[in-house]
Amino acid sequence: MIRNPLIFAAVSDFAGKTRGKAFPEQDLNMRLRRGVGWAPTCVQITCFDVIAPSPFGAIGEVLMIPQKDTEVRVNFQDDTPPEHFFLCDITTLDGKPWSCCTRGILKAALKRLYTLAGVRLYGAFEHEFQIKDKALTANDAYGINAFSLRRQLGESIMAALAQAGLQPDSFMKEYGTEQYEFTVKPKHGVAVADAAVTARELVRMTARRLGEEVTFAPIQDIASVGNGVHIHMSFQDGGGNSVSYDPKDPHGMSKLTGAFAAGVLKYLDAILAFTAPSAVSYQRLTPHRWSVAYNNIGFEDREAALRISPVTDKSPESVAQQFNLEYRAADAAASPYLALAAIVHAGAQGIEEKLSIPPVSHEDLSLLSEDELAKRGYTRNPQSLEEALERMNNDDTVCSWFPEEFISIYTAHKKCELEQLEGESVEEQCASYARTY
Ligand code: GLU
Ligand code: MG
């Protein structure tokens, strides 16, 4: 069949969806310069394809500008056309960053961190997903047989990620029904989130070629575990040396890491509106599913909002270089750009406020009484998206981190998404999100 190859210009939007338009390959140089036209109101397309109230209406135009170093071209070596796409910044027609460009919002957050502390973010997203419909195995959490049945998928995913310039790190059968996890090696700055957008889409594209549909929805079955997105973060100076670690601190945190962590915990109730931005995200964020319920930093604790990740002197990498914080209260309903931007701003705010290294928990906080929690400065996180949106809107500091008009547009978007779910039971809501993510 005749074919004129197309390149997809992609953005990751408020709905956490990757959308855009394709152009013929021969126009690439022109498109890298002038971009691809985009309707501003597209940012209000919710994850259920309903258009939320938009200040832009049917009017106006912005430009998706493909970013050269985000190019992905994966040849699956089957009979399907290679996947070829670029991630884009969105600018106004005169080339200024657009207020609702999620990638631009992350770049501004990273710039703030660099200006304040002279450090670059080094990190990686860890993803969990589930294969839909057909359960090939039961009772085989982390099992070799469940893994073996999906070895083809795992190996194809690893190959696709590698062709896209990501360094695959692991693939495993997770605890839940048909739940799998993959990890990639860390990158710097905005590329941390670029890699997450690319990885999610490549997993879907790979699975589809093998006749499978996958979902990254925050949770499918509230009797079981959710699909988490865990964001690993450390900080490097201009020479690529870690400034995250201090052997003198009992838990290894440098003052910088401690202030960053304290900022994230202080503003956690508000930034959840960006990192856990679906109605069912809050079904996942409950105790006893290796998820997050409180505003704590824990030592090697899988139920902490921030986990101090394990390090080992058996690794060829130094302990300082390995040392990182893992933000666990995120899921794949969030655009990686917005999730990471909110976390980086909260951390930068902690540095700006010169917050001290927070106390580290070593136990199950859900077993403590309200009094005991309050005495130790812990609070239960918001338990619904409505509540998180309200906390975010009521926090002038948090609102001040973002471009003007962004907060009101994002809030209208999310409220419209919630309206779409009215009358649905929690089970139906989970099914709605599993269809969309
Ligand atoms: N599935 C858990 C979550 O929702 C995480 C399990 C793990 O620690 O890998 O975050
Ligand atoms: Mg996992």
Q: What is the pLDDT of residues 189-241, one digit of tens each?
A: 999 999 999 999 999 999 999 999 999 999 999 999 999 999 999 999 999 99
- Cα–ligand 2 centroid distance for 373 (angstroms): 27
Q: What is the dihedral sign for C-alpha 411, 412, 414, 419?
A: positive
Render pLDDT for 272-281 as a digit per residue (tens, 0 to 9): 999 999 999 9
pLDDT classification of 135: cutoffs 50, 70, 90: confident
- Give the Å distance between the CA of 253 and the centre of ligand 1: 23
Report the mean per-residue pLDDT for the chain.
Answer: 96
Of 222, 210, 188, nearest to 114 by C-alpha is 188
Q: Closest ligand to 174 CA?
A: 2
The one-letter amino acid code at 92 reads: T
- The letter for the amino acid at 393 is N
Q: Give the residue-averaged pLDDT of 288-300.
A: 93
Q: pLDDT at position 275, please? A: 98
pLDDT digits (tens, 9 = 90+) for 406-434: 999 999 999 999 999 999 999 999 999 99
Q: Whose CA is nearest to atom 10 of ligand 1?
A: 228
Q: Which residues contact residue 157 at a Cβ distance below 8 angstroms, ignoring those fewer than 6 apart? A: 168, 171, 182, 202, 203, 206, 207
pLDDT grade, residue 37 (50/70/90)?
very high
**Calculated CA dihedral for residues 397, 401, 405, 408, nearest 10 degrees:** -50
User: For residues 89 and 103, is the Cβ–Cβ distance under 8 A?
Assistant: yes
Ligand 1: centre distance to CA 426 (Å): 20
Contact partners, residue 411, CB within 8 Å, separation at least 6: 389, 392, 393
**pLDDT for res 146:** 93
139 pLDDT above the threshold of 90 = no
Contact (CB, 8 A) for 337 and 359: no
Q: Whose CA is nearest to atom 3 of ligand 1?
A: 228
Does the pLDDT of residue 134 top 90, yes or no?
no
| Average pLDDT rounded to a whole number, residues 286-312 | 93
Looking at ligand 1, which atom is closest to the CA of residue 227? Answer: 4
Taking CA atoms only, the protein residue closest to ligand 1 atom 7 is: 290
Which of 290, 292, 301, 303 to probe ligand 1 with, by most ligand atoms within 8 A of CB?
290
Task: Please report which confidence band the pLDDT of residue 325 belongs to, taking 50, 70 and 90 as the band edges.
Answer: very high
Ligand 1 site, residue 290, Cβ cutoff 6 A: yes
138's enclosing H/E stretch is none
What percentage of the chain exceeds 70 in pLDDT?
Answer: 100
Overall average pLDDT of the 160-182 stretch: 97
Residue among 170, 286, 302 whose CB has most ligand 1 atoms within 8 A, to mutate: 302
The beta-strand segments (E) located in 205-277 are: 214-215, 229-236
For residues 271 and 323, the answer to whether their CB atoms sit within 8 Å is: no
Neighbour tally for 135: CB within 10 Å:
12
Asked if residue 426 lies in contact with residue 222, where contact means CB atoms within 8 angstroms, the answer is yes
Mean pLDDT of 368-395: 95
Average pLDDT of the residues in 350-378: 94
For residue 251, how far is its CA from the centre of ligand 1 (angstroms)? 22
* pTM as predicted: 0.97
13 lines ligand 1 (CB under 6 A): no
- Percent of the chain at pLDDT > 90 equals 93
- Name the pLDDT band for 359 (thresholds 50, 70, 90): very high
